Structure 1
Amino acid sequence: MNGDMNHGISGRTASEIAESLRGLVERGTLRPGDPLPPVRALAESLGVNRNTTVAAYRQLTQAGVVVTRGRGGTHVADRSPVAQEGFAADSVLRDVGTGNPDPDLIPDPSKALRSMAGRPVLYGEPVIDPGLESWAGAWMQRDLASAGPFRLTITSGAADAVERLLAQSLTRDDAVALEDPCFLASIHTVRLGGYRPVPVPVDAEGMTVDGLRDALEQGVRAVVCTPRAQNPTGASLTEQRAAQLRDVLADHPYVLVIEDDHFSLLSQRPFYSLIGPRHRRWALIRSVSKFLGPDMCLAVTASDPDTAERLAMRLTPGTTWVSHLLQRLTLALVTDADVMRDIDRAGAHYAARNAAFAARLIAHGVPAEPGDGLNLWVALPVPARAVADRLMRRGWLARSGDEFLVGDADPSERLRLTVHDLNDADAEQLAVDIAAAVHAVAGRRLAAEVG
């Protein structure tokens, strides 16, 4: 191999080769996504032992400079920002891609705040409020009766829990099975952690059996799954699908299974778990952000005792425990009968508004099937990005499915829409505009094919 074929990489030791590669990346000679030479070929080019180039690539992987994709080879890491949930900054367009709950349906905490008086919590005290621990333990136990003993951990939201769970179990370049399409925060967490995402397709019943089996054959060390209201698709595991997935996982009891039941109290679907009675490493996470508001940065994690112990080591008292004031506020809200009735009404509202908008799309010739959750995942006969571009001209800011993809795939033909806060007139106008955009894009495609 000549110098051009190995990109100008030089060095005789692992450190020298790694430093040479880092310099090429920093100068822009190598760009994000560029493939690197196979270790054997690079070793032959440089006249060094193969183990030397393996060590050099390992150093760069641990530093997040390169990523290894198994059979796909080693590539320069992509450090571009990952799309995030929330409102688009400085946009004059009507944002229908926020992924936010309706602020009018978030319970008012004023009454609960007035009842929270109590003595200060000091260093060295238990990190979980006893009242919240009792309530949360009963809440989780209802759905974990067959999973064996568990311990609770409180974290600053679901994304915080997933990040800490992966960090206490994996090292850089370990493979993680992610649903495809996937929740944006999970993509972001895996990328920043330096792990290797392995996509598992999602259909109407959730994570697919063949997809999970293939991911396990690729050596994933962890599986992150959304059992219901999967974001962005709205899919929920059926009882049969969950049983099939448990059967596949039965031969891999030490693979860490993380279930993110983010919609929990708002969900209109039953909960079915991937966690079998003999699985050894698992965690079920439920945050309160969807029903008590995103600013309530708190999640309850139930996990097997060994995982809980390692997770607790990453939540050292005095540095990163979750505020007891926040824990007490959460407890006051979820034990208030009026608040719980409001949460039930909110869940029904989201389901009804999504179903109503799907019916509007169908009436205008765009097939749609509402799932569970805050959003609607709409299948299109044309690339979604082209439709989103045309919607911008009509005053709407929508999200194409491309942002949620994990694996290498053709451009997405899906839109993810957040429509539950639109009034009837605006909802009808958006449905009309989507149908018009689809028709226009399809017309241009047909003209190009004919031409």
Structure 2
Amino acid sequence: MTSDIRGRSATEIADSVRALIERARLSPGDPLPPVRSLADELGVNRNTVVAAYRQLTQAGVVVTLGRGGTRVADLAPVAQEGFAAGSVLRDVGTGNPDPDLIPDIAPALASMAGRPVLYGEPVIDPDLERWARGWMSVGLDAVDLRLTITSGAADAVERLLAQALTRDDAVALEDPCFLTSIHTVRIGGYRAVPVAVDDEGMTVDGLRAALEQGVRAVVHTPRAQNPTGASLSAARAAELRAVLRDHPYVLVIEDDHFSMLSQQPFHSLVSPEHRRWALVRSVSKFLGPDMCLAVTASDPETAERLAMRLTPGTTWVSHLLQRLTLALVTDEATAAGIARAGIHYAARNAAFVERLTAYGLDAEAGDGLNLWIPLPVAARAVSEHLMRRGWLARTGDEFLLSGDEPSHRLRLTVHDLDDEDAAQLAADLAAAVAAAGGRLLVREVG
């Protein structure tokens, strides 16, 4: 069978494939001919076809799936955090912080007045840098630490991966995984290698297997892993550092997104001997999602490369935003409010877990904004029954990298429910599980 692909050079062949896609002659998921077959058909050297497919892969037009061949890329968007648009249901899957616990920025705005910042000046506000160096150094056993400011954690992770990887490079991601990380790796054209997560964080066997598959970067969450709420224990962190000891040039990215709100200690995967690493801390969970600022601490080479990735576009994060962040995090009242917020999230999650326990649903209140609820039946069926009762929940399927089987988990954001609504959701969830065919053992909770 012949294809409609034409050309004698790699560029001509790649342009031909692009044209077929643009004219809808090839659709997402469609296979391209094997290299040998297309080379024979066009009468060119196999290396020419290999080069053409490489161009298309690097441009994100196609994906290479090993024995699955080369196929037209599917750029369908993945799920994102936030409220579901256009729903009349009570949304308990948002992943949002409580707006009532986000500090008021009005008092801090008055302290931001100052001379204008001009081109060519230092990209980091000196006062913020002094404060951030102390913040980022705690828990890190790094010999030489450099700081970079980006427009949020997602921006930092995307640029960190881009400065170290090329398309089709393998990246170790937690499984289940934060939605934004899945999206970042997919859009970047990298190959996600899933690493299982348990109650103590990323598993040792999972990381070892990923490294054996040749991953060039590892993205992990040391505390309040999203969606599971798991945090690295000291013992697990030590075991993972031992595994990484033989891979000092694999880029380790630590996304400590819940930092100031976390009720757990920080344990790093970065040892003094590791050569490529970055610790990212955003302010969005405790100062609000609209405060698009993150601090990245990294080794000198990674910092230089990250700075180079910033120069073509947003060369620096607004100094007004930097000054506002500094004014807030150094204010005693704001700091006390952030501490209270962290305690509040933990307490509300624990109270909801206690309600579920009374209905025979055994869940754990991990760290973070969300709960990761195990179910005796498929989550989608439970979610559908919850919708009939007025609730919009998020199934675990959206967070899975190895999604061969349907998820038996729900990720719920319940910290902003009052006691009456929390009790109603717990009762409705138990009823939804029963309606979906799950068996529950109701018990007394003292």
Structures share fold, TM-score greater than 0.5: yes
For 1:138, the equivalent position in structure 2 comes to 134
For 1:91, the equivalent position in structure 2 comes to 87
Q: Residue 184 and residue 414 in structure 1: after superposition, are their counterparts in 2 closer, same or farther (change >3 A)?
A: same
Q: Residue 403 and residue 219 in structure 1: after superposition, are their counterparts in 2 closer, same or farther (change >3 A)?
A: same
Structure 1 counterpart SS, 2:195: strand
What do you get for the CA RMSD once the two structures are aligned?
1.9
Figure out how many residues of one structure are paired with residues of the other and give that number. 439
2:9 counterpart of 1:52? no
Q: How does 1:41-440 map to 2 (within 5 A)?
A: 41-44=37-40, 46-70=42-66, 72-144=68-140, 146-316=141-311, 319-440=314-435
Report deviation, 1:214.
1.5
Report deviation, 1:12.
4.3
For residues 17 and 23 of structure 2, what CA distance do their matches in structure 1 show?
10
Give yes or no for contact 1:157–1:297 (8 Å, CA) kept in 2. Answer: yes
Give yes or no for contact 1:387–1:441 (8 Å, CA) kept in 2. Answer: yes
Report deviation, 1:50.
2.5
Structure 1 counterpart SS, 2:414: coil
TM-score (ref. length: structure 1): 0.93
Structure 1 counterpart SS, 2:196: strand
Which residue identity does 1:137 align to in structure 2? R
Report deviation, 1:142.
1.4
Which residue identity does 1:236 align to in structure 2? S
For residues 391 and 58 of structure 1, what CA distance do their matches in structure 2 show?
46
Cα-to-partner distance string for 1:218-269 (whole Å, 9 max, x where unaligned)? 2111111111101111111111111111111111111111100000000011
For residues 357 and 198 of structure 2, what CA distance do their matches in structure 1 show?
20
Cα-to-partner distance string for 1:311-364 (whole Å, 9 max, x where unaligned)? 111223994311111111111111111111111110011011111111111111
* Greater alpha carbon shift after TM alignment, 275-284 vs 54-63: 54-63
2:2 counterpart of 1:14? no
Give yes or no for contact 1:123–1:318 (8 Å, CA) kept in 2. Answer: no
Which sections of structure 2, spanning at least 5 residues, go unmatched? 440-446
Cα-to-partner distance string for 1:173-200 (whole Å, 9 max, x where unaligned)? 2111111111111111111111121111
Which residue identity does 1:432 align to in structure 2? A
Give yes or no for contact 2:397–2:403 (8 Å, CA) kept in 1. Answer: no
Give yes or no for contact 1:14–1:53 (8 Å, CA) kept in 2. Answer: yes
Q: Residue 243 and residue 42 in structure 1: after superposition, are their counterparts in 2 closer, same or farther (change >3 A)?
A: farther
Q: Residue 379 and residue 28 in structure 1: after superposition, are their counterparts in 2 closer, same or farther (change >3 A)?
A: farther
Report deviation, 1:113.
1.1
State the identity as a percent. 78
* Greater alpha carbon shift after TM alignment, 231-240 vs 18-27: 18-27
Give yes or no for contact 2:377–2:438 (8 Å, CA) kept in 1. Answer: no
Which residue identity does 1:380 align to in structure 2? L
Q: Residue 50 and residue 210 in structure 1: after superposition, are their counterparts in 2 closer, same or farther (change >3 A)?
A: farther
* Greater alpha carbon shift after TM alignment, 104-113 vs 259-268: 104-113
Q: Residue 210 and residue 42 in structure 1: after superposition, are their counterparts in 2 closer, same or farther (change >3 A)?
A: farther
Give yes or no for contact 2:172–2:219 (8 Å, CA) kept in 1. Answer: yes
Give yes or no for contact 1:132–1:328 (8 Å, CA) kept in 2. Answer: yes
Report deviation, 1:37.
4.4
For 1:449, the equivalent position in structure 2 comes to none
Which residue identity does 2:331 align to in structure 1? D
Q: Residue 412 and residue 32 in structure 1: after superposition, are their counterparts in 2 closer, same or farther (change >3 A)?
A: farther
* Greater alpha carbon shift after TM alignment, 83-92 vs 18-27: 18-27
Cα-to-partner distance string for 1:262-288 (whole Å, 9 max, x where unaligned)? 000000111111111111010000000
For residues 364 and 46 of structure 1, what CA distance do their matches in structure 2 show?
66
* Greater alpha carbon shift after TM alignment, 385-394 vs 152-161: 385-394
Report deviation, 1:165.
0.8
* Greater alpha carbon shift after TM alignment, 109-118 vs 347-356: 109-118
Q: Residue 70 and residue 217 in structure 1: after superposition, are their counterparts in 2 closer, same or farther (change >3 A)?
A: farther
Structure 2 counterpart SS, 1:242: helix
TM-score (ref. length: structure 2): 0.94
Q: Residue 34 and residue 136 in structure 1: after superposition, are their counterparts in 2 closer, same or farther (change >3 A)?
A: same
Q: Residue 318 and residue 70 in structure 1: after superposition, are their counterparts in 2 closer, same or farther (change >3 A)?
A: closer
2:443 counterpart of 1:441? no
Q: Residue 232 and residue 111 in structure 1: after superposition, are their counterparts in 2 closer, same or farther (change >3 A)?
A: same
Which sections of structure 1, spanning at least 5 residues, go unmatched? 445-451
Report deviation, 1:8.
5.1
Q: Residue 28 and residue 393 in structure 1: after superposition, are their counterparts in 2 closer, same or farther (change >3 A)?
A: farther
